[in-house]
Amino acid sequence: MPRPITSGPIQWLLSLIFILQMYLSMLVLGIVYLPYALLNRDGAVAACHAFCAWVRFSLRIICGLRTEIRGEVPQGEVLIAPKHQSFLDIILIYGALPRAKFIMKAELRFAPILGWYALRIGCVPVNRGKRGVAITQMMAEVKSGLARPGQLIIYPQGTRVAPGEALPYKIGTAALYSQLGQPCVPVGTNVGLFWPKRGILRHRGLGVVDFLPAIPPGLSNTAFMSLLEAQVEASSNALMQEAGYP
């Protein structure tokens, strides 16, 4: 896959500055919002939304990477199944949704600031391991948190997938879709072209996440997974082509 043309030493330096100030802003906002977040979960949500807004703003100003949200952003209780290419799609998706929570890797609970706020907004930590055990744990955690309405986000491939890589879609998404009985909103993205899975460099361009029409509840697991994968991959591939990549 071709590399973006914005990969010189100046862009690398700007990217490093952006990353340093991003984590500094996480610390500052985490401290500023802490009293509100301790008293009310809405405070934690507000802190996370403020962080997402700042990242988008500073990314555009410092690195020249613009971002865009497309499609109809869900407002009610739905399952959301996005393509996961980098930390940026987390920022864009969470910042767009009114009250989102993630199915997340259990080890993220111990990340400074990020881990505590993630638990406070209702994210569901799941241990890696045997698939059946993970799904059982996932459903128990999700069902215990249904009293807090919102949009539940699960990455169907389970991890970040760089553009050009192929990883299978995991059955945990179908388990949630089936047992929750909620519509599922697929989400495509191209952000991995500009904010890579690894490394410091952030490229100029337009990073997009695209909320697609909801898949209604009631499909079989096989039909649901087939439709979900087809829609997410088609959207992501189209967005990458739009950005100039095959």
Number of C-beta neighbours around residue 190 at 10 A: 26
Yes or no: say if 164 and 1 are a contact pair by the CB < 8 Å rule: yes
Over the chain, what is the mean pLDDT?
90
- What's the CA gap between 138 and 176, in Å, rounded? 8
Position 133 pLDDT exceeds 70: no
Position 147 pLDDT exceeds 90: no
Position 153 pLDDT exceeds 70: yes
3-state class percentages of the chain: helix first, strand second, coil last, to nearest 5: 50, 15, 35
* Mean pLDDT to the nearest integer, 121-144: 70
Boundaries of every domain in the chain: 9-242
The pLDDT of residue 28 = 97
The CATH code for residues 9-242 is 3.40.1130
Residue 95 in 3-state DSSP? helix
* Mean pLDDT to the nearest integer, 54-80: 97
CA 140 to chain centre: 22
- What's the CA gap between 4 and 200, in Å, rounded? 14
Q: Is the pTM of this model over 0.75?
A: yes
Residue 97 in 3-state DSSP? coil
Tell me the two tokens of residue 19: 């990353």
Q: How confident is the model at residue 1 (pLDDT cuts 50, 70, 90)?
A: very low
Per-range mean pLDDT, top range of 139-148, 154-163, 186-195? 186-195
Place of tokens 């649901």: 224
